[in-house]
Chain A
Amino acid sequence: MNQSVSDETLHAFVDGELDVAESEKLIAQMRDNEALTQRVCNLRSLKSMVQVAYALPPQARHAGSRDRDGRARRLMQRCAYACLMLAVGLGVGWSLRGLDAPDRLASWDGSEVVSLAVKPDPRRVVLHIDSGSPEKMLDVLERAESYLNQAEEQGRAMQLEVLANSRGLNLLRAGYSPYAERIAKMRQRHANLQFIACNQSVARFASEGEDVVLLPAARTAPTAIGEIVTRLQQGWTYVRI
């Protein structure tokens, strides 16, 4: 294992504590050092796992009431979930309303954008694909590259996730993805780019008898919706392709 870069530095990198110059230096090192990239990926997945684990904490029972068989709790959790979805829906309306500003509109190409922040944050973006259409797959990759290049040109730090579920999972499946080579190259070029497959979709394909092998560049999140909700809560901008 490569220990030339300390754990503390890598933690600071994944937590966004390094300045642009330090981040760029580390990203340059990562390009030539697979072990280092792997350490960063491991840290990022650990961080994501913690975020998913607490995205919807169980609610406390109300004093005096008895939750006889857990149904009330489940109902509450579903209500909380529905409220979150409502918030996402409201977020769509709100953020689309906010897209009137010409500079925002130009940078998001008129896509369906959701952000719980007042202004969508261009530094942290999730691109979501749930369609198996090759055109949409190409679109998601084109946009990812365009956003990353734009950030690079402007010298600002950026984190970008391409999240695939449902039929969109084929984008990240070995033997099915029409863009496997391009994805590998993109992943190599941009250390701040993550390809994430929904594990629930993987399980569903598997239960239908399909053998799901993901591309080496992809990692998994327990559920796509969990990942989206968590990222929105953290102030990320969600773009549906």
Chain B
Amino acid sequence: MISRLILGPMRPGMEALRPVLYRIAYAWSHDPALADDLVQETLSKAWSQRAQLRDEQALKPWMVAIMNRCWLDHLRSRRDFDDVDDFDDVLESSVDTPEQHCDREKVIACVRAAVARLPLGQRQVLTLVDLEEFGYAEVAGILDIPVGTVMSRLSRARTALRELVKQAMSQPAVPVLRRVK
């Protein structure tokens, strides 16, 4: 513990997680600037709270859990949610619909738009499991929710995502205008 405080050996390890944290933050917020802010805040809090980390092997889930708290604080400050605990059932309606993107056959944009339409709680679980391949128990620890909730949110997220992507894919493509001499 003393050597850790003096030498600060975890700093490079924390910095190395920046791309991972950014990818998760972006998948949660779909806002590059906000994702960047969340990562900065997380790194800074993780550094100041480093003495609380007992197992250095668990650095990644520990830092993602910190980022989750930063994210919840951000949502509370936006006042969009009276009760953050209910946010699992709230749909983000301000983003483009997947259809708007899929017309342009941009699969990546289409999936991002579909993920952005998922309720926030489901989006968090889905991205942690699919992007970072966290185990269900790890996700439960990070988000501070029961494992059963992780499984049910994941199941609902994938069912909804499949429907959103399917709907988007079945939309007729925008006809391409061709120049005729």
CB of B167, distance to nearest CB on chain A (Å): 14
User: Across chains A and B, which 10 residue pairs bring their CB atoms closest together, nearest first?
Assistant: A60-B36, A53-B111, A60-B32, A57-B26, A50-B130, A60-B33, A53-B108, A49-B111, A222-B107, A54-B27
Q: Could you say which of A8, A42, A50 contacts B155, with CB atoms under 8 Å apart?
A: A8
| Cβ contact of A50, chosen from B26, B131, B151, cutoff 8 A | B131
What residues on B are CB-neighbors of A52 within 8 Å?
107-108, 111
Task: Write out the residue numbers on chain B whose beta carbons fall within 8 Å of the beta carbon of A58.
Answer: 26, 32
Interface size on B, residues (CB 8 A): 30
**Stretch of A11-19, A25-33, A96-104, A185-193 at the chain-chain interface:** A11-19
Q: Which residues of B contact A (CB under 8 A)?
A: 22-23, 26-27, 32-33, 35-36, 107-108, 111-112, 115, 126-127, 129-131, 133, 135-136, 151-152, 154-155, 158-159, 161-162, 165
Number of A residues with CB within 8 Å of any CB on chain B: 25
Please, could you name 5 A-B residue pairs with CB atoms under 8 Å apart, sorted by A?
A43-B158, A49-B165, A52-B107, A54-B26, A60-B35
Report if A234 contacts B (CB, 8 A): yes
Q: Are A50 and B127 in contact (CB under 8 A)?
A: yes
Contact A8 B36 (CB under 8 A): no
| Bound complex: CA A148 to CA B155 (Å) | 29
Q: Is A61 on the interface with B (CB-CB < 8 A)?
A: yes
**A154 CB–B CB distance under 8 Å:** no
